[in-house]
C-alpha cells in the first residue's frame, strides 16, 4: 500500500478526540510537510538550475495535475504574474477535467492518460518548456499521460510525488519525492501531502524567479502595481532600496509606470527613466548589475 494511503496507527481513535486535540493533531502533522521539502531540497535545486536556461530562452512553465495536486499547480501558475510580472502566457496550468475542475471535482478525469497527453499537445509543448507533473500518489494516469507526451516533445519534465518509487518521479528527468507518509485522515492527501506540494512548488518557482533577476536583495521589485495596496508597496520598496524620501520615490515611480526596478536604478544612479531602462536591459534585468554592485 502507498504510504499516503496507509492508515496512521497513532490516530486510530481520531473521531473521539476533544476538538482542541483534534485541531492540534492536524496542525502538528503539517510539520512533516516542511521536513519532506527540506529532504528534497537538492532535487528542487537541481530542477531550478535545469529550468533556468529554458526560461532564459523564452520557454514556459507548464503545470499538470489532477484534483488537489492540479489545483495547487493552478495556484502557483496564477501567482507568478502579480508577484514577478511573469507573463500569463508563460505560466500554463493543465487540470484534469478542465477549468471547471478547479471548483467542482470531475470524477474519473484523473484516470484518463490519453486526455493528459492531449492536453499537453493542445498547448504545443516544445523543447524550451518546463513541465511540472504533480501527483501525490505518483501514479495518476492523467499526469503520466501528460509526462510521456511532454518528454516526447523534448520538454524538461519535473515530477513531484509523495511516495517513493513513484512513476511520475521515476519517469521525469528530475524526480522530487516529498515523503510525507500516512495522513491523519487516511488517504486524504489534501492534508500534509498537499501542503508539501504547495511548499515545493512555491519554493521552486520563487527560486527560479530570483535566478531570473526578479528580486533585488530580498526585495520584490518586478511586480505590477495594479491596485492601491501595490502602489503603496512600490513606494515603500523604492524608499527602502534607495533611501529617497517618499515624494521623490513616488515622483520617479509615476514617471516609469510604477516599475520598481526602473525607479531604483534611476534614483540610485541619478539617471533618466530611459537610461535606467537601458542599464537594466544590458544587465539582463538585474538591478544589482545595473547598479554596478
| Residue 49 is a catalytic residue | no
110 is catalytic: yes
Torsional sign, CA 120, 123, 125, 128: negative
Q: What cell numbers appear for 281 in the block? A: 536591459
The count of C-alpha atoms lying within 13 angstroms of the C-alpha of 222, restricted to the half-sphere facing its C-beta, is 23
Q: Where would I find the H helices in 155-282?
A: 167-171, 192-211, 228-242, 246-255, 260-269, 273-282
Question: Which residues make beta-bridge pairs with 174?
Answer: 158
Q: What is the CA radius of gyration of the chain?
A: 22
The gap from C-alpha 19 to its chain's centroid, in whole angstroms, comes to 34
Distance from C-alpha of 32 to C-alpha of 180, rounded to nearest angstrom: 6
Which of 79, 89, 254, 281 is labelled catalytic? 79
Cβ neighbors of 256 (< 8 A, separation 6 or more) are 262, 263, 266, 273, 276, 277
Alpha-carbon distance of 142 to 102, in angstroms, equals: 15
Looking at the DSSP bridge assignments, the partners of residue 175 are 159
- Which residues are designated catalytic? 79, 110
Amino acid at each position: 500500500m502507498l504510504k499516503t494511503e496507509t492508515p496512521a496507527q497513532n490516530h486510530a481513535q481520531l473521531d473521539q478526540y476533544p476538538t482542541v486535540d483534534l485541531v492540534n493533531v492536524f496542525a502538528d502533522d503539517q510539520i512533516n510537510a516542511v521536513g519532506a521539502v527540506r529532504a528534497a531540497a537538492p532535487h528542487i535545486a537541481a530542477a531550478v538550475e535545469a529550468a533556468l536556461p529554458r526560461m532564459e530562452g523564452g520557454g514556459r512553465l507548464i503545470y499538470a495535475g489532477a484534483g488537489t495536486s492540479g489545483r495547487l499547480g493552478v495556484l502557483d501558475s496564477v501567482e507568478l504574474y502579480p508577484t514577478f510580472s511573469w507573463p500569463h502566457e508563460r505560466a500554463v496550468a493543465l487540470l484534469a477535467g478542465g477549468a471547471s475542475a478547479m471548483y467542482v471535482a470531475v470524477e474519473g478525469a484523473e484516470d484518463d492518460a490519453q486526455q493528459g497527453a492531449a492536453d499537453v499537445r493542445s498547448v504545443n509543448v516544445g523543447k524550451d518548456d518546463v513541465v511540472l507533473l504533480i501527483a501525490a500518489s505518483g501514479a495518476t494516469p492523467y499526469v503520466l499521460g501528460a509526462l510521456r507526451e511532454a518528454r516526447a516533445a523534448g520538454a524538461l519534465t519535473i515530477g513531484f510525488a509523495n511516495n517513493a518509487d513513484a512513476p511520475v518521479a521515476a519517469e521525469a528527468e528530475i524526480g522530487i519525492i516529498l515523503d510525507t507518509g500516512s495522513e491523519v485522515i487516511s488517504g486524504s492527501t489534501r492534508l500534509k501531502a498537499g501542503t508539501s506540494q504547495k511548499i515545493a512548488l512555491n519554493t521552486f518557482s520563487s527560486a527560479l524567479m530570483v535566478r531570473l533577476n526578479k528580486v533585488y536583495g530580498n526585495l520584490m521589485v518586478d511586480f505590477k502595481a495594479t491596485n492601491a495596496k501595490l502602489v503603496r508597496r512600490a513606494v515603500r520598496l523604492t524608499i527602502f532600496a534607495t533611501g529617497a524620501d517618499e515624494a521623490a520615490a513616488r515622483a520617479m515611480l509615476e514617471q516609469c509606470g510604477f516599475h520598481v526596478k526602473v525607479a531604483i536604478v534611476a534614483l540610485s544612479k541619478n539617471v533618466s527613466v530611459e537610461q535606467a531602462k537601458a542599464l537594466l536591459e544590458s544587465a539582463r534585468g538585474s538591478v544589482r548589475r545595473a547598479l554596478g554592485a
